[in-house]
Amino acid sequence: MIDGKKYIEIVKLFFSFLITEFSFNQTKEVENGNAFYDVEYRDGQRAISISYENIEDYLQVIVFKLKNGQLPDYDDKTHTLHLSELNKIILPKINKREMEENNVLFDKFETKDSLDRKLMKSAKELRLSLKHWDKV
């Protein structure tokens, strides 16, 4: 179990590349008691949600392709792209060298527990997906 403030702090740290490298803006922070947390970023075309159900230890990283600036239906698979689905498309196209270079960028961050490690892994994968967005 993690406190909401701590979760948001870690997400902002690990996913800071969204702002610095891909010009996203952070648009939302949700803390629903200690049950659910969500941090959202947008860049005009896309919204990225990094949400966590605390009790169920369920982390979701989703890239939404916006429809006229609005979020699509959650169940619209063409516009609601879960990171696991993006990985299936992108990761096979990435060579070992690029993977290692990507990993190096996150070496400065420390991970203390399994949620940190999951967030770190997601951050690395998301960065690769965004770098190769043209292939999606």
Partner 1 sequence: MRVGLGGLVSINNESGGENIDNRNYGGDGSGDMMDMALRVVDVINQFNPIAHLMDNVSFAFTGSDRLGNKMSLGDAWMKSASVIPIGRVGVFGSSAAKGVPTIVGEGMKRVSMEAAKHPGSVILNNMPKLTGAPHQVTSQMMTYNRQWLLQQMRSGRPVINIGLDPTRGTPGIFYQMEQNMMKNYLKLHPGAF
Residues 42-61 that bind partner 1 (CB under 8 A): 49, 51, 53, 55-56, 58, 60
Complex with partner 1: residue 87 or 102, whichever CB lies closer: 87
Q: Is 26 in the site for partner 1 (CB under 8 A)?
A: no
Contacting residue, 66, 71, 79, 109, with partner 1 by CB under 8 A: 71
Q: Does 129 bind partner 1 (CB under 8 A)?
A: no
User: Within its chain, how far is the Cα of 123 from the centroid?
Assistant: 6
Contact 68, 89 (CB under 8 A): no
| Residue among 34, 44, 67, 105 that touches partner 1 (CB under 8 A) | 34
Report the residue number, 49 or 129, with the smaller CB distance to partner 1: 49
Angle subtended at Cα 62 by Cα 44 and Cα 66, rounded to the nearest 5 degrees: 30
Is residue 118 within 8 Å of 126, Cβ to Cβ? no
Q: Does 82 bind partner 1 (CB under 8 A)?
A: yes
Helix or strand run (H / E) with residue 17 = helix 17-20
Residue 111: C-alpha distances to residues 5, 23, 66, 81, 129 (Å): 17, 25, 32, 26, 22
Check residue 38 for interaction with partner 1 (CB under 8 A): yes
1 vs 104 by CB, closer to partner 1:
1
Torsion of CA 136, 75, 38, 18, to 10 degrees: 10
Using CB under 8 A as the criterion, which residues of the chain lie in contact with partner 1 when the complex forms? Answer: 1, 4, 30, 32-36, 38, 49, 51, 53, 55-56, 58, 60, 62, 71, 73-75, 82
